[in-house]
Structure 1
Amino acid sequence: MAETLVQVSDLKVHFPIGRSLFKDGVTLKAVDGVSLDIARGEVVGLVGESGSGKTTLGRALLRLIEPTEGSVRFDGTEVVGLPPRDLKALRSRMQIIFQDPYASLNPRMSVGQIIGEALHLHSIGTRADRDERVGDLLEKVGLPRTAAARFPHEFSGGQRQRIGIARALAVNPDFIVADEPVSALDVSIQAQIINLLQDLRQELGLSILFIGHDLSVIEFLCDRVVVMYLGHVMETATAADLYTQPRHPYTRSLLDAAPVPNPRAKRDRIMLKGDLPSPINPPSGCVFRTRCPFAIEACAQVEPALETVGPRHAVACIRQAELNLME
């Protein structure tokens, strides 16, 4: 088994809301006790509905958002509480690809300046070296070297996301958080970007946390999948096991919501009802119980822990042993 690069233990990200000098506020629990690990060279998919805490978790791993509690260890170094100088040095090994290719690039900077900014901040190479590196990166992501002199508004959405990927690769990172990097793109362009990430992952040995909604993309790109709901991990497994042997009702509902090639095919589905509860006032016990068709009274009393049910397969459900979720 490959060496662990990122190890997350009981991570919490809580945001106080409405607090003032004169009254106590409430707390929004965006991430509430998440544990996971990512090995060197591994791509882990993070899926769940909007509002599940996926983006918050990804940014907390990089300390772009400060965790409230818990531990994030990167290559053996504790990231939570790391002094700014040490964090800056570590950040050259941890980068992010943002969701919106339009909003994530500074329109006043040339493409060369955008990609080369991290090289300058980390004092890597001479100016000539940095210019050469920018050109190499542009070619690596499928753009001409001459693109360095142009500005973001001159490019399409897919081209801008290629620029964002080049920026993330500039300082030779070991780990990248890809925060829904294809959700704002047309389907044909999505395929190009996914194939590019797959090629880069294999060529550079990158570890990636890929946040997304499209389960077909997750299945194609990722080695393992982590399913989040309302700040909690519901299930984690290899992609092969998750898609063929889902053990949590929420995982099965996500798979059932995906379209099938034959629209006339009949199958039993677990369809979600109602909306995601508020992370300000989450349900007691299992946070999924208010929408779970298999919930029993005990589900309101017990907060299920992730339990191992197979090789690299864990589920947070007190009824998983008795439920048969296979078709």
Structure 2
Amino acid sequence: MAEALLKVTDLKVHFPIGKTLLSPGQTVRAVDGVSLEVRRGEVVGLVGESGSGKTTLGRSVLRLVEPTAGSVTFDGEELTGVPPQRMKALRSRMQIIFQDPYASLNPRMSVGQIIGEALLLHHIGTGKDRGQRVGDLLQQVGLPREAAARFPHEFSGGQRQRIGIARALAVNPDFIVADEPVSALDVSIQAQIINLIQDLRQALGLSLLFIGHDLSVIEFLCDRVVVLYLGKVMETATAADLYANPRHPYTRALLDAAPVPDPRVRRQRITLKGDLPSPIAPPSGCVFRTRCPFAIEDCARAIPPLETVGSDHSVACIRAAELNLTE
């Protein structure tokens, strides 16, 4: 088993809101005690409904959002509390691909300037070297070298995301957070970008935390999967094991919500009722219990720990041992 490149331990990201001189305000528990790891050369998928804390978690491990508590270790070095100059150096090894290919590129900069900005910021190469590197990166993501002289508005959404990927690769990172990089694209383009990420991952030996909604994409691309609900980990396992043997009702509900390409297939489904509870006032005990069809009184009394139920498979559910959630 490869060693962990990124290790997150009991990470919390809480946002105070409505605080005044006369009122203590409230706290949004966006991420509430998450632990996970990404091993070298591995792609870990992070899935869950909108509002579950996926993007906040992804940005907090890069310290684009400051954690409230917990630990983030990258290649053996603790990131929380690291001074800005050291964090700047570490960011050459940790990059992000943003969700929106339209909003994430500066419209006043040429493509060459956008990709080359990171090289300039980290003092990598001379002017000529940087131009060569930009051209090589554009070719690597499937765009012509001449694209460097053009501006973002001249490209389609899929092409802009390729530019965003080239920008993330510019400083030869070891680790990338891919924040739903295909959710804003047409279905026909999504497959091209996913295949590109897969090819780059294999060619460059990248480690990724891949945030997504589409479970078919997660299954294709990821080695392991972490299921997040209301800022907490519900289940984590290898992709093959999670899809074949889900142990948490929330995981089963997510899988059931995914379309099946064969219209002849009929299956029993777990359907989620109601909306995601507010992260300001999450339910007591198991945060999923208010929507869980298998919830019992004990589910409200204590937060279930993430317990091992198999090789590289853990679940946070007090009824996991008795429930049979496979089809």
Using the size of structure 2 for normalisation, the TM-score is 0.99
Query: Aligned equivalents of 1:304 and 1:188: distance in 2?
Result: 41
The residue number in structure 2 matching 1:174 is: 174
The residue number in structure 1 matching 2:313 is: 313
What are the equivalent positions in structure 2 for 1:169-318 lying under 5 Å apart? Answer: 169-318=169-318
Deviation at 1:3, TM superposition (A): 1.4
Deviation at 1:125, TM superposition (A): 0.6
Query: Aligned equivalents of 1:264 and 1:70: distance in 2?
Result: 48
Q: Which runs of 4+ in 1 moved over 6 A?
A: none
Give 1:189's aligned amino acid. I
Deviation at 1:263, TM superposition (A): 2.7
What are the equivalent positions in structure 2 for 1:42-53 lying under 5 Å apart? Answer: 42-53=42-53
Give 2:250's aligned amino acid. Y
Query: Aligned equivalents of 1:115 and 1:22: distance in 2?
Result: 48
The residue number in structure 2 matching 1:69 is: 69
Query: Aligned equivalents of 1:296 and 1:318: distance in 2?
Result: 10
Query: Aligned equivalents of 1:24 and 1:211: distance in 2?
Result: 33
Give 2:85's aligned amino acid. R
* Structure 1 unaligned spans of 5+: none
* Structure 2 unaligned spans of 5+: none
Task: Compare 15-24 and 100-109 and name the one that shifted more.
Answer: 15-24
Query: Aligned equivalents of 1:233 and 1:7: distance in 2?
Result: 14
What are the equivalent positions in structure 2 for 1:92-171 lying under 5 Å apart? Answer: 92-171=92-171
Secondary structure of 1:281 counterpart: coil
Deviation at 1:21, TM superposition (A): 2.1
Query: Aligned equivalents of 2:141 and 2:108: distance in 1?
Result: 22
Secondary structure of 2:290 counterpart: helix
Identity across the alignment (%): 82
The residue number in structure 1 matching 2:21 is: 21
Query: Aligned equivalents of 1:113 and 1:281: distance in 2?
Result: 45
Query: Aligned equivalents of 1:265 and 1:76: distance in 2?
Result: 47
Give 1:53's aligned amino acid. G
Deviation at 1:265, TM superposition (A): 2.2
Query: Aligned equivalents of 2:261 and 2:197: distance in 1?
Result: 25
1:193-216: CA deviation from partner (whole Å, max 9, x where unpaired): 000000000000000000000000
Secondary structure of 1:192 counterpart: helix
Q: C-alpha root-mean-square deviation of aligned residues, in Å?
A: 0.5
Give 2:320's aligned amino acid. Q
Query: Aligned equivalents of 2:38 and 2:201: distance in 1?
Result: 14
Deviation at 1:256, TM superposition (A): 0.3
Query: Aligned equivalents of 2:326 and 2:160: distance in 1?
Result: 41
